[in-house]
Amino acid sequence: MTSSTASRSARPVRDDSAVPVVSLRGVTKTFAGTRALRRVDLDFFPGEIHAVCGENGSGKSTMIKILSGVYQGDPGGTVSLNGEEYDADRVTPTVANRQGVRVVHQDLAVFPELTVEENLAIDGGFHTSKLGRIRWRKQHKSAEQLIRDFKIPARPKSTLAELSLAARTEVAIARSLRDMDDRGKGLLILDEPTAALPVKEVDALLASLRDLADSGQSILYVSHRLDEVLALADYVSVLRDGELVGTFPTSELDEAQLVDLMLGRAVHKALEHVPVVPDGDAVFKVENLSVGPLKSVSLEVHAGEMLGIAGVMGSGRSTLLKSIFGVAQPRAGRFVLDGQTMAADSPKSAMGAGIAMVPEHRLRDAAFGNEPVDMNISISVIGKYWRKLVLADKALRQDADQLISEYRVKVPTGRSLMSSLSGGNQQKVVVARWLRRKPRLILLDEPTQGVDVGARAEIYNILRRATQDGAAAVLVASDFQELAQVVDRAIVLRNGRVVAELRGDEITAHRLARLSHADEAPAAAMPTPDSDSSVASAEKG
Protein backbone atom coordinates (compact mmCIF):
# COMPACT_ATOMS: atom_id res chain seq x y z
CA MET A 1 0.00 0.00 0.00
CA THR A 2 1.22 3.50 -0.70
CA SER A 3 1.42 5.79 2.29
CA SER A 4 -0.16 8.73 0.51
CA THR A 5 -0.35 12.05 2.31
CA ALA A 6 -3.89 12.44 0.97
CA SER A 7 -5.86 11.79 4.16
CA ARG A 8 -9.24 10.13 3.68
CA SER A 9 -10.62 11.95 6.71
CA ALA A 10 -9.72 15.36 5.27
CA ARG A 11 -11.80 15.12 2.08
CA PRO A 12 -13.70 18.22 1.03
CA VAL A 13 -17.46 18.08 1.44
CA ARG A 14 -19.37 18.83 -1.75
CA ASP A 15 -21.58 21.88 -1.56
CA ASP A 16 -25.17 20.99 -2.47
CA SER A 17 -25.26 24.07 -4.71
CA ALA A 18 -22.08 23.10 -6.58
CA VAL A 19 -22.31 23.12 -10.38
CA PRO A 20 -20.42 20.39 -12.29
CA VAL A 21 -17.64 21.35 -14.68
CA VAL A 22 -18.49 18.43 -16.94
CA SER A 23 -21.67 16.36 -17.17
CA LEU A 24 -22.50 13.33 -19.29
CA ARG A 25 -26.12 12.36 -19.87
CA GLY A 26 -27.18 9.22 -21.70
CA VAL A 27 -23.78 8.87 -23.40
CA THR A 28 -23.54 5.74 -25.53
CA LYS A 29 -20.83 4.55 -27.93
CA THR A 30 -21.14 1.67 -30.38
CA PHE A 31 -18.33 0.03 -32.38
CA ALA A 32 -19.32 -2.35 -35.19
CA GLY A 33 -22.47 -3.39 -33.36
CA THR A 34 -20.81 -3.72 -29.94
CA ARG A 35 -21.71 -1.14 -27.29
CA ALA A 36 -18.65 0.11 -25.44
CA LEU A 37 -20.74 2.55 -23.36
CA ARG A 38 -24.45 2.31 -22.49
CA ARG A 39 -26.29 5.48 -21.45
CA VAL A 40 -23.70 6.72 -18.97
CA ASP A 41 -24.62 9.64 -16.66
CA LEU A 42 -21.70 11.23 -14.76
CA ASP A 43 -20.79 14.57 -13.18
CA PHE A 44 -17.35 16.01 -12.41
CA PHE A 45 -17.19 18.92 -9.94
CA PRO A 46 -14.56 21.62 -9.38
CA GLY A 47 -12.07 20.95 -6.60
CA GLU A 48 -12.69 17.18 -6.59
CA ILE A 49 -10.63 14.16 -7.60
CA HIS A 50 -13.07 11.74 -9.19
CA ALA A 51 -11.70 8.28 -9.99
CA VAL A 52 -13.18 5.98 -12.63
CA CYS A 53 -12.48 2.27 -12.13
CA GLY A 54 -13.29 -0.85 -14.08
CA GLU A 55 -11.63 -3.78 -15.75
CA ASN A 56 -10.10 -3.55 -19.21
CA GLY A 57 -12.96 -3.28 -21.66
CA SER A 58 -15.28 -1.66 -19.12
CA GLY A 59 -15.47 1.58 -21.13
CA LYS A 60 -13.02 3.86 -19.28
CA SER A 61 -10.86 4.66 -22.31
CA THR A 62 -13.90 5.15 -24.54
CA MET A 63 -15.37 7.64 -22.08
CA ILE A 64 -12.09 9.58 -21.88
CA LYS A 65 -11.91 9.76 -25.67
CA ILE A 66 -15.47 11.06 -25.92
CA LEU A 67 -14.76 13.73 -23.29
CA SER A 68 -11.64 14.84 -25.18
CA GLY A 69 -13.33 14.69 -28.60
CA VAL A 70 -11.21 11.86 -30.02
CA TYR A 71 -14.36 9.73 -30.35
CA GLN A 72 -17.85 11.07 -30.90
CA GLY A 73 -20.67 9.47 -28.93
CA ASP A 74 -23.75 7.99 -30.55
CA PRO A 75 -26.61 10.42 -31.30
CA GLY A 76 -28.92 11.00 -28.36
CA GLY A 77 -26.49 11.63 -25.51
CA THR A 78 -25.21 14.99 -24.35
CA VAL A 79 -21.99 16.35 -22.86
CA SER A 80 -22.10 19.62 -20.88
CA LEU A 81 -18.82 21.54 -20.59
CA ASN A 82 -18.81 24.57 -18.27
CA GLY A 83 -22.58 24.87 -18.61
CA GLU A 84 -22.64 24.64 -22.41
CA GLU A 85 -24.48 21.56 -23.64
CA TYR A 86 -23.29 19.68 -26.73
CA ASP A 87 -24.69 16.65 -28.49
CA ALA A 88 -22.33 13.78 -27.68
CA ASP A 89 -21.69 13.24 -31.39
CA ARG A 90 -20.60 16.89 -31.82
CA VAL A 91 -17.79 17.13 -29.25
CA THR A 92 -14.52 17.56 -31.15
CA PRO A 93 -10.93 17.96 -29.88
CA THR A 94 -11.24 21.70 -30.62
CA VAL A 95 -14.41 22.02 -28.55
CA ALA A 96 -12.98 19.97 -25.68
CA ASN A 97 -9.73 21.92 -25.62
CA ARG A 98 -11.52 25.28 -25.74
CA GLN A 99 -13.64 24.21 -22.75
CA GLY A 100 -10.60 23.18 -20.72
CA VAL A 101 -10.59 19.41 -21.06
CA ARG A 102 -6.97 18.22 -20.84
CA VAL A 103 -5.63 14.66 -20.94
CA VAL A 104 -2.27 13.49 -19.60
CA HIS A 105 -1.59 9.91 -20.64
CA GLN A 106 0.77 7.34 -19.13
CA ASP A 107 3.01 8.08 -22.12
CA LEU A 108 3.69 11.69 -21.13
CA ALA A 109 4.91 12.93 -24.53
CA VAL A 110 7.77 14.79 -22.86
CA PHE A 111 11.31 15.06 -24.16
CA PRO A 112 14.06 14.02 -21.69
CA GLU A 113 16.84 15.71 -23.66
CA LEU A 114 15.11 19.12 -23.56
CA THR A 115 14.96 21.50 -20.61
CA VAL A 116 11.97 21.99 -18.35
CA GLU A 117 11.23 25.40 -19.87
CA GLU A 118 11.38 23.93 -23.38
CA ASN A 119 9.06 21.06 -22.43
CA LEU A 120 6.62 23.46 -20.81
CA ALA A 121 6.46 25.52 -24.02
CA ILE A 122 5.99 22.67 -26.50
CA ASP A 123 2.71 22.75 -28.45
CA GLY A 124 2.36 26.47 -28.88
CA GLY A 125 3.65 27.87 -25.62
CA PHE A 126 6.78 29.69 -26.85
CA HIS A 127 6.98 33.46 -26.56
CA THR A 128 8.20 34.85 -29.89
CA SER A 129 9.11 38.22 -31.34
CA LYS A 130 7.53 39.72 -34.44
CA LEU A 131 10.34 38.12 -36.42
CA GLY A 132 9.49 34.69 -35.04
CA ARG A 133 12.47 34.40 -32.70
CA ILE A 134 11.99 32.86 -29.27
CA ARG A 135 12.13 35.44 -26.47
CA TRP A 136 14.14 33.31 -24.05
CA ARG A 137 14.14 35.78 -21.16
CA LYS A 138 10.33 35.93 -21.15
CA GLN A 139 10.20 32.18 -21.70
CA HIS A 140 12.40 31.66 -18.65
CA LYS A 141 10.15 33.83 -16.47
CA SER A 142 7.03 31.99 -17.64
CA ALA A 143 8.65 28.67 -16.80
CA GLU A 144 9.64 29.94 -13.35
CA GLN A 145 6.04 30.98 -12.70
CA LEU A 146 4.65 27.58 -13.76
CA ILE A 147 7.24 25.78 -11.65
CA ARG A 148 6.14 27.84 -8.61
CA ASP A 149 2.41 27.44 -9.34
CA PHE A 150 2.64 23.66 -9.73
CA LYS A 151 5.37 23.18 -7.09
CA ILE A 152 7.61 21.27 -9.51
CA PRO A 153 10.94 20.27 -7.91
CA ALA A 154 13.07 21.56 -10.78
CA ARG A 155 14.72 24.60 -12.38
CA PRO A 156 13.84 25.97 -15.82
CA LYS A 157 17.23 25.00 -17.25
CA SER A 158 17.18 21.44 -15.87
CA THR A 159 16.79 18.75 -18.50
CA LEU A 160 13.91 16.37 -17.94
CA ALA A 161 16.41 13.50 -17.87
CA GLU A 162 17.66 14.91 -14.56
CA LEU A 163 14.19 14.75 -12.94
CA SER A 164 12.37 11.94 -11.22
CA LEU A 165 9.53 10.27 -13.13
CA ALA A 166 7.04 11.92 -10.79
CA ALA A 167 8.49 15.36 -11.52
CA ARG A 168 8.29 14.67 -15.25
CA THR A 169 4.59 13.89 -14.81
CA GLU A 170 4.15 17.18 -12.97
CA VAL A 171 5.80 18.97 -15.92
CA ALA A 172 3.35 17.28 -18.31
CA ILE A 173 0.41 18.35 -16.11
CA ALA A 174 1.67 21.93 -15.85
CA ARG A 175 2.08 22.09 -19.64
CA SER A 176 -1.49 20.86 -20.19
CA LEU A 177 -2.94 23.47 -17.80
CA ARG A 178 -0.63 26.42 -18.51
CA ASP A 179 -3.25 28.45 -20.40
CA MET A 180 -6.07 27.92 -17.89
CA ASP A 181 -6.51 30.89 -15.55
CA ASP A 182 -9.59 29.54 -13.76
CA ARG A 183 -8.98 26.14 -12.15
CA GLY A 184 -12.73 25.68 -11.65
CA LYS A 185 -13.47 25.74 -15.39
CA GLY A 186 -11.52 22.76 -16.67
CA LEU A 187 -11.24 18.99 -16.33
CA LEU A 188 -7.81 17.37 -16.05
CA ILE A 189 -7.90 13.69 -17.07
CA LEU A 190 -5.05 11.53 -15.80
CA ASP A 191 -4.83 8.07 -17.37
CA GLU A 192 -2.67 5.69 -15.28
CA PRO A 193 -0.27 8.46 -14.16
CA THR A 194 1.57 6.26 -11.65
CA ALA A 195 1.79 3.02 -13.67
CA ALA A 196 5.49 3.51 -14.44
CA LEU A 197 6.46 5.21 -11.17
CA PRO A 198 8.55 3.59 -8.43
CA VAL A 199 6.58 3.31 -5.18
CA LYS A 200 8.75 5.94 -3.48
CA GLU A 201 7.76 8.54 -6.10
CA VAL A 202 4.02 7.90 -6.03
CA ASP A 203 3.39 9.84 -2.83
CA ALA A 204 5.01 12.98 -4.24
CA LEU A 205 2.75 12.94 -7.29
CA LEU A 206 -0.41 12.18 -5.32
CA ALA A 207 0.35 15.05 -2.92
CA SER A 208 0.76 17.45 -5.86
CA LEU A 209 -2.58 16.29 -7.31
CA ARG A 210 -4.29 16.90 -3.97
CA ASP A 211 -2.86 20.42 -3.93
CA LEU A 212 -4.09 20.97 -7.48
CA ALA A 213 -7.62 19.86 -6.55
CA ASP A 214 -7.56 22.09 -3.47
CA SER A 215 -6.90 25.02 -5.81
CA GLY A 216 -10.22 24.28 -7.56
CA GLN A 217 -9.11 21.92 -10.34
CA SER A 218 -11.46 19.08 -11.28
CA ILE A 219 -9.53 15.84 -11.86
CA LEU A 220 -10.71 12.62 -13.49
CA TYR A 221 -8.31 9.94 -12.24
CA VAL A 222 -7.93 6.49 -13.83
CA SER A 223 -5.69 3.89 -12.18
CA HIS A 224 -5.50 0.13 -11.69
CA ARG A 225 -3.93 0.77 -8.27
CA LEU A 226 -6.99 0.64 -6.07
CA ASP A 227 -5.16 1.66 -2.90
CA GLU A 228 -4.19 4.91 -4.63
CA VAL A 229 -7.77 5.49 -5.75
CA LEU A 230 -9.07 5.10 -2.20
CA ALA A 231 -6.27 7.21 -0.69
CA LEU A 232 -6.52 10.05 -3.21
CA ALA A 233 -9.97 10.34 -4.77
CA ASP A 234 -13.03 12.00 -3.25
CA TYR A 235 -15.45 9.94 -5.32
CA VAL A 236 -15.14 6.82 -7.45
CA SER A 237 -17.39 5.73 -10.30
CA VAL A 238 -17.33 2.10 -11.41
CA LEU A 239 -17.90 1.03 -15.01
CA ARG A 240 -18.65 -2.58 -15.84
CA ASP A 241 -19.22 -3.81 -19.41
CA GLY A 242 -19.86 -0.24 -20.56
CA GLU A 243 -22.48 0.53 -17.92
CA LEU A 244 -22.20 2.74 -14.85
CA VAL A 245 -22.51 0.59 -11.73
CA GLY A 246 -22.62 3.68 -9.52
CA THR A 247 -20.73 6.60 -7.97
CA PHE A 248 -19.58 6.33 -4.37
CA PRO A 249 -17.71 8.48 -1.84
CA THR A 250 -14.36 6.72 -1.37
CA SER A 251 -14.68 7.24 2.40
CA GLU A 252 -17.46 4.63 2.33
CA LEU A 253 -15.49 1.93 0.48
CA ASP A 254 -12.60 -0.39 1.16
CA GLU A 255 -10.50 -2.25 -1.39
CA ALA A 256 -12.49 -5.49 -1.18
CA GLN A 257 -15.78 -3.66 -1.77
CA LEU A 258 -14.32 -1.82 -4.76
CA VAL A 259 -13.12 -5.11 -6.23
CA ASP A 260 -16.62 -6.56 -5.72
CA LEU A 261 -18.14 -3.64 -7.62
CA MET A 262 -15.68 -4.05 -10.50
CA LEU A 263 -16.09 -7.84 -10.81
CA GLY A 264 -19.77 -8.21 -9.96
CA ARG A 265 -21.09 -9.49 -13.26
CA ALA A 266 -22.54 -12.96 -13.74
CA VAL A 267 -20.21 -15.87 -14.29
CA HIS A 268 -20.09 -17.07 -17.89
CA LYS A 269 -20.82 -20.78 -17.58
CA ALA A 270 -19.54 -21.45 -21.09
CA LEU A 271 -15.97 -20.80 -19.95
CA GLU A 272 -15.96 -23.12 -16.95
CA HIS A 273 -13.84 -26.26 -17.08
CA VAL A 274 -12.31 -28.89 -14.83
CA PRO A 275 -8.70 -27.84 -14.11
CA VAL A 276 -6.01 -30.09 -15.56
CA VAL A 277 -3.50 -31.57 -13.11
CA PRO A 278 -0.46 -32.25 -15.32
CA ASP A 279 2.01 -35.06 -14.77
CA GLY A 280 5.48 -35.60 -16.18
CA ASP A 281 8.23 -33.10 -16.89
CA ALA A 282 7.56 -29.50 -17.84
CA VAL A 283 7.41 -28.69 -21.54
CA PHE A 284 8.79 -25.21 -20.96
CA LYS A 285 10.70 -23.50 -18.15
CA VAL A 286 11.67 -19.91 -17.45
CA GLU A 287 14.66 -19.71 -15.12
CA ASN A 288 15.71 -16.53 -13.29
CA LEU A 289 14.50 -14.22 -16.06
CA SER A 290 15.24 -10.50 -15.80
CA VAL A 291 13.89 -8.33 -18.59
CA GLY A 292 12.10 -4.98 -18.51
CA PRO A 293 10.39 -4.74 -15.10
CA LEU A 294 10.84 -8.48 -14.41
CA LYS A 295 13.37 -9.51 -11.78
CA SER A 296 14.56 -13.15 -11.47
CA VAL A 297 11.24 -14.69 -12.54
CA SER A 298 11.03 -18.49 -12.73
CA LEU A 299 8.07 -20.62 -13.79
CA GLU A 300 7.18 -23.74 -15.74
CA VAL A 301 4.27 -25.06 -17.80
CA HIS A 302 3.36 -28.65 -18.70
CA ALA A 303 1.81 -30.35 -21.71
CA GLY A 304 -1.97 -30.09 -21.62
CA GLU A 305 -1.87 -27.17 -19.17
CA MET A 306 -3.01 -23.58 -19.50
CA LEU A 307 -1.00 -21.35 -17.16
CA GLY A 308 -2.47 -17.95 -16.33
CA ILE A 309 -0.37 -14.84 -15.66
CA ALA A 310 -2.16 -12.25 -13.50
CA GLY A 311 -1.01 -8.75 -12.63
CA VAL A 312 -1.82 -5.11 -13.20
CA MET A 313 -0.47 -2.88 -15.96
CA GLY A 314 3.28 -2.49 -15.54
CA SER A 315 3.75 -5.77 -13.65
CA GLY A 316 5.65 -7.33 -16.56
CA ARG A 317 2.98 -9.70 -17.92
CA SER A 318 3.35 -8.80 -21.59
CA THR A 319 7.12 -8.40 -21.29
CA LEU A 320 7.33 -12.01 -20.13
CA LEU A 321 5.61 -13.28 -23.28
CA LYS A 322 7.55 -10.96 -25.57
CA SER A 323 10.87 -12.15 -24.16
CA ILE A 324 9.92 -15.81 -24.67
CA PHE A 325 9.00 -15.00 -28.28
CA GLY A 326 12.28 -13.19 -28.89
CA VAL A 327 10.87 -9.66 -29.13
CA ALA A 328 12.32 -8.38 -25.84
CA GLN A 329 15.90 -9.36 -25.03
CA PRO A 330 16.55 -10.52 -21.43
CA ARG A 331 19.28 -9.11 -19.18
CA ALA A 332 19.62 -12.48 -17.48
CA GLY A 333 18.03 -15.92 -17.31
CA ARG A 334 17.30 -18.72 -19.75
CA PHE A 335 14.46 -20.65 -21.39
CA VAL A 336 14.29 -24.44 -21.48
CA LEU A 337 12.06 -26.19 -24.03
CA ASP A 338 11.74 -29.98 -23.83
CA GLY A 339 14.85 -30.15 -21.67
CA GLN A 340 17.03 -28.07 -24.01
CA THR A 341 18.14 -24.47 -23.55
CA MET A 342 16.39 -22.39 -26.19
CA ALA A 343 17.74 -19.36 -27.99
CA ALA A 344 15.48 -16.34 -27.52
CA ASP A 345 17.08 -13.93 -29.94
CA SER A 346 14.23 -13.47 -32.44
CA PRO A 347 10.63 -14.45 -33.27
CA LYS A 348 12.04 -16.54 -36.13
CA SER A 349 14.04 -18.73 -33.73
CA ALA A 350 11.04 -18.97 -31.38
CA MET A 351 8.78 -20.09 -34.22
CA GLY A 352 11.40 -22.59 -35.33
CA ALA A 353 11.40 -24.05 -31.83
CA GLY A 354 7.63 -24.56 -31.93
CA ILE A 355 6.39 -21.45 -30.14
CA ALA A 356 3.38 -19.41 -31.28
CA MET A 357 2.23 -16.02 -30.03
CA VAL A 358 -1.12 -14.24 -30.21
CA PRO A 359 -0.19 -10.60 -29.41
CA GLU A 360 -2.16 -8.11 -27.33
CA HIS A 361 -2.71 -5.55 -30.08
CA ARG A 362 -4.52 -7.48 -32.79
CA LEU A 363 -5.04 -4.60 -35.23
CA ARG A 364 -1.48 -3.32 -34.91
CA ASP A 365 0.51 -6.56 -34.61
CA ALA A 366 -1.55 -9.45 -35.99
CA ALA A 367 -4.35 -8.56 -38.39
CA PHE A 368 -3.52 -7.52 -41.95
CA GLY A 369 -6.72 -5.56 -42.49
CA ASN A 370 -6.25 -4.84 -46.20
CA GLU A 371 -5.50 -8.47 -47.04
CA PRO A 372 -8.12 -11.21 -47.53
CA VAL A 373 -8.96 -13.64 -44.74
CA ASP A 374 -7.43 -16.61 -46.58
CA MET A 375 -4.06 -14.82 -46.73
CA ASN A 376 -4.28 -13.82 -43.06
CA ILE A 377 -4.98 -17.37 -41.97
CA SER A 378 -2.12 -18.73 -44.11
CA ILE A 379 0.65 -16.21 -43.50
CA SER A 380 2.36 -18.28 -40.78
CA VAL A 381 2.94 -21.15 -43.25
CA ILE A 382 3.11 -19.18 -46.48
CA GLY A 383 6.31 -20.90 -47.55
CA LYS A 384 4.51 -24.17 -48.24
CA TYR A 385 2.45 -22.51 -51.00
CA TRP A 386 5.32 -21.23 -53.12
CA ARG A 387 5.95 -23.24 -56.26
CA LYS A 388 9.06 -22.01 -58.12
CA LEU A 389 8.41 -18.35 -57.28
CA VAL A 390 4.68 -18.70 -57.97
CA LEU A 391 2.09 -18.72 -55.17
CA ALA A 392 -0.27 -21.71 -55.34
CA ASP A 393 -3.46 -19.70 -54.87
CA LYS A 394 -5.86 -22.62 -55.31
CA ALA A 395 -4.22 -24.79 -52.65
CA LEU A 396 -3.95 -21.82 -50.25
CA ARG A 397 -7.63 -20.99 -50.64
CA GLN A 398 -8.79 -24.59 -50.26
CA ASP A 399 -6.84 -25.00 -47.03
CA ALA A 400 -8.02 -21.61 -45.78
CA ASP A 401 -11.67 -22.46 -46.48
CA GLN A 402 -11.28 -25.68 -44.48
CA LEU A 403 -9.84 -23.77 -41.52
CA ILE A 404 -12.54 -21.08 -41.76
CA SER A 405 -15.13 -23.83 -41.44
CA GLU A 406 -13.27 -25.69 -38.68
CA TYR A 407 -12.80 -22.57 -36.57
CA ARG A 408 -16.32 -21.27 -37.29
CA VAL A 409 -15.17 -17.95 -38.69
CA LYS A 410 -18.23 -16.01 -39.80
CA VAL A 411 -17.28 -14.55 -43.17
CA PRO A 412 -18.99 -14.71 -46.60
CA THR A 413 -15.84 -15.97 -48.30
CA GLY A 414 -12.14 -16.36 -47.64
CA ARG A 415 -11.57 -13.64 -50.19
CA SER A 416 -13.28 -11.06 -47.93
CA LEU A 417 -10.97 -8.47 -46.40
CA MET A 418 -9.84 -9.10 -42.84
CA SER A 419 -11.00 -5.58 -41.88
CA SER A 420 -14.61 -6.53 -42.69
CA LEU A 421 -14.75 -9.09 -39.86
CA SER A 422 -15.87 -8.48 -36.29
CA GLY A 423 -13.21 -8.48 -33.57
CA GLY A 424 -14.11 -12.00 -32.47
CA ASN A 425 -13.86 -13.43 -35.97
CA GLN A 426 -10.58 -11.62 -36.61
CA GLN A 427 -9.19 -13.20 -33.46
CA LYS A 428 -10.33 -16.67 -34.54
CA VAL A 429 -8.38 -16.15 -37.76
CA VAL A 430 -5.25 -15.13 -35.80
CA VAL A 431 -5.57 -18.14 -33.49
CA ALA A 432 -6.14 -20.51 -36.42
CA ARG A 433 -3.08 -19.03 -38.16
CA TRP A 434 -0.87 -20.15 -35.27
CA LEU A 435 -2.52 -23.41 -34.29
CA ARG A 436 -2.14 -24.80 -37.81
CA ARG A 437 1.62 -24.89 -37.07
CA LYS A 438 0.95 -27.41 -34.24
CA PRO A 439 2.99 -25.43 -31.69
CA ARG A 440 4.45 -26.94 -28.53
CA LEU A 441 3.92 -23.70 -26.60
CA ILE A 442 1.18 -21.11 -27.22
CA LEU A 443 1.65 -17.59 -25.82
CA LEU A 444 -1.60 -15.64 -25.48
CA ASP A 445 -1.59 -11.94 -24.61
CA GLU A 446 -5.16 -10.70 -23.99
CA PRO A 447 -6.58 -13.11 -26.60
CA THR A 448 -10.20 -12.02 -26.05
CA GLN A 449 -9.67 -8.26 -25.83
CA GLY A 450 -12.47 -6.50 -27.70
CA VAL A 451 -14.29 -9.80 -28.23
CA ASP A 452 -17.87 -10.50 -27.20
CA VAL A 453 -18.77 -13.23 -24.71
CA GLY A 454 -19.91 -15.78 -27.28
CA ALA A 455 -16.72 -15.48 -29.32
CA ARG A 456 -14.66 -15.66 -26.09
CA ALA A 457 -16.10 -19.07 -25.29
CA GLU A 458 -15.43 -20.30 -28.82
CA ILE A 459 -11.82 -19.06 -28.73
CA TYR A 460 -11.12 -20.72 -25.41
CA ASN A 461 -12.71 -23.96 -26.60
CA ILE A 462 -10.37 -23.87 -29.60
CA LEU A 463 -7.36 -23.27 -27.35
CA ARG A 464 -8.45 -25.99 -24.91
CA ARG A 465 -8.58 -28.50 -27.78
CA ALA A 466 -4.99 -27.56 -28.62
CA THR A 467 -3.82 -28.18 -25.05
CA GLN A 468 -5.74 -31.47 -24.94
CA ASP A 469 -3.71 -32.48 -27.99
CA GLY A 470 -0.49 -31.91 -26.02
CA ALA A 471 0.37 -28.22 -26.38
CA ALA A 472 1.13 -26.02 -23.38
CA ALA A 473 -0.32 -22.51 -23.13
CA VAL A 474 0.57 -19.36 -21.19
CA LEU A 475 -2.26 -16.84 -20.93
CA VAL A 476 -2.16 -13.15 -19.94
CA ALA A 477 -5.57 -11.59 -19.29
CA SER A 478 -6.60 -8.44 -17.43
CA ASP A 479 -10.09 -9.83 -16.83
CA PHE A 480 -9.48 -11.74 -13.60
CA GLN A 481 -12.85 -13.48 -13.67
CA GLU A 482 -12.17 -14.77 -17.16
CA LEU A 483 -8.68 -15.86 -16.17
CA ALA A 484 -10.01 -17.74 -13.14
CA GLN A 485 -12.51 -19.60 -15.30
CA VAL A 486 -10.19 -20.87 -18.01
CA VAL A 487 -6.73 -21.59 -16.54
CA ASP A 488 -5.47 -24.65 -14.68
CA ARG A 489 -2.88 -22.80 -12.62
CA ALA A 490 -2.12 -19.10 -12.12
CA ILE A 491 1.00 -17.07 -11.36
CA VAL A 492 0.59 -13.56 -9.92
CA LEU A 493 3.17 -10.93 -10.87
CA ARG A 494 3.56 -7.75 -8.87
CA ASN A 495 6.32 -5.17 -9.21
CA GLY A 496 8.21 -7.51 -11.54
CA ARG A 497 8.24 -10.55 -9.27
CA VAL A 498 6.19 -13.72 -8.75
CA VAL A 499 4.26 -13.18 -5.51
CA ALA A 500 1.81 -16.10 -5.59
CA GLU A 501 0.94 -19.35 -7.34
CA LEU A 502 -2.66 -20.59 -7.23
CA ARG A 503 -4.14 -23.93 -8.27
CA GLY A 504 -7.63 -25.34 -8.77
CA ASP A 505 -10.20 -23.87 -6.40
CA GLU A 506 -7.65 -21.37 -5.09
CA ILE A 507 -8.00 -19.45 -8.37
CA THR A 508 -10.78 -16.89 -7.94
CA ALA A 509 -11.21 -13.47 -9.49
CA HIS A 510 -11.15 -11.80 -6.08
CA ARG A 511 -7.91 -13.46 -5.04
CA LEU A 512 -6.21 -12.61 -8.31
CA ALA A 513 -7.36 -9.00 -8.05
CA ARG A 514 -6.34 -8.56 -4.43
CA LEU A 515 -2.95 -10.19 -4.86
CA SER A 516 -2.27 -8.17 -8.01
CA HIS A 517 -3.18 -4.83 -6.41
CA ALA A 518 -1.62 -5.18 -2.93
CA ASP A 519 1.63 -3.29 -3.51
CA GLU A 520 3.35 -3.98 -0.18
CA ALA A 521 2.60 -7.67 0.39
CA PRO A 522 5.87 -9.63 0.81
CA ALA A 523 6.83 -11.92 -2.04
CA ALA A 524 6.90 -14.91 0.32
CA ALA A 525 3.27 -14.43 1.34
CA MET A 526 1.29 -17.12 -0.42
CA PRO A 527 -2.50 -17.55 -0.07
CA THR A 528 -3.99 -20.71 1.35
CA PRO A 529 -7.14 -22.21 -0.13
CA ASP A 530 -9.31 -22.24 2.98
CA SER A 531 -10.73 -18.70 3.03
CA ASP A 532 -10.50 -15.19 1.65
CA SER A 533 -9.26 -14.05 5.06
CA SER A 534 -6.05 -16.00 4.40
CA VAL A 535 -5.48 -13.83 1.33
CA ALA A 536 -6.04 -10.67 3.33
CA SER A 537 -3.56 -11.75 5.96
CA ALA A 538 -1.00 -12.66 3.32
CA GLU A 539 -1.36 -9.23 1.71
CA LYS A 540 -0.91 -7.47 5.02
CA GLY A 541 2.18 -9.55 5.76
Question: What's residue 272's pLDDT?
Answer: 65
More confident residue, 40 or 179: 40
Q: Is residue 171 part of a domain?
A: yes
The pLDDT, as a whole number, for residue 267 is: 40
Mean pLDDT throughout 53-68? 86
* Residues 485, 347 within the same domain: yes
User: Using CA atoms, how far apart are residues 534 and 539, in angstroms rounded to an integer?
Assistant: 9
Residues 339 and 485 in one domain: yes
Closest CA to 436 of 396, 387, 475, 390: 396
Residue 80 lies in a domain: yes
Domain match, 484 and 499 both: yes
Looking at the fold, whether 301 and 392 belong to one and the same domain comes out as no
The verdict on 328 and 382 lying in the same domain is no
Please check whether residues 300 and 253 belong to one and the same domain.
no
Does position 290 have pLDDT exceeding 90, yes or no?
yes
Query: What is the mean pLDDT of the segment spanning 346-354?
Result: 92
Q: What is the mean pLDDT of the chain?
A: 85
Query: Average pLDDT in the 461-473 region?
Result: 92
- The answer to whether 311 and 365 have CB atoms below 8 angstroms apart is no
* Statement to judge: residues 206 and 168 lie in one domain: no
Q: In the chain, how many domains are there? A: 4
Q: State the pLDDT at residue 526.
A: 36
Q: Are residues 258 and 387 in the same domain?
A: no
What is the extent of the structural domain holding 170?
110-179
| Separation of first and last alpha carbons in the chain | 11
- Tell me: pLDDT of 87 over 60: yes
Residue 13 lies in a domain: no
Nearest in space to 116 (alpha carbons), one of 155, 149, 67: 155
What's 245's domain CATH number? 3.40.50.300
Q: What are the tens digits of pLDDT across the range 227-259?
A: 889 999 999 999 988 899 999 999 999 888 888
* Sequential DSSP letters for 281-346: S-SEEEEEEEETTEEEEEEEE-TT-EEEEE--TTSSHHHHHHHHTTSS--SEEEEEETTEEE--S-
Partners of 487 in the β-ladder: none
Instruction: Choose the final residue of a domain: 265, 294, 313.
Output: 265
Angle between the N-to-C axes of helices 165-177 and 136-149, in degrees from 0 to 180, rounded to the nearest 10: 110
* 531, 383: one domain: no
Same structural domain, 428 and 444: no
With respect to residue 216, please indicate whether it lies within any of the assigned structural domains.
yes
Mutual angle of helices 165-177 and 199-214, in 10-degree steps:
20
CB 438 within 8 A of CB 458: no
Domain shared by 154 and 285, yes or no: no
Residue 524 has pLDDT above 50, yes or no: no
Task: From 179, 206, 237, give the residue that closes a domain.
Answer: 179
Name residue 129's amino acid: S
* Band (538; pLDDT cuts 50, 70, 90): very low
Residue 362 within any structural domain of the chain: no
pLDDT of residue 76: 94
**Final residue before a domain boundary, out of 436, 451, 474:** 436
Rounded mean pLDDT, 139-143: 88
387 shares its domain with 311: no
> Does residue 245 lie in a domain region?
yes
In a domain, 349, yes or no: yes
pLDDT for the residue numbered 231: 92
Amino acid at 14: R
361-417 per-position pLDDT tens digit? 887 888 888 899 999 999 988 888 888 888 888 999 999 999 999 988 888 889 889
In a domain, 364, yes or no: no
| Comparison of pLDDT for 22 and 368, the residue scoring more | 22
pTM exceeds cut of 0.75: no
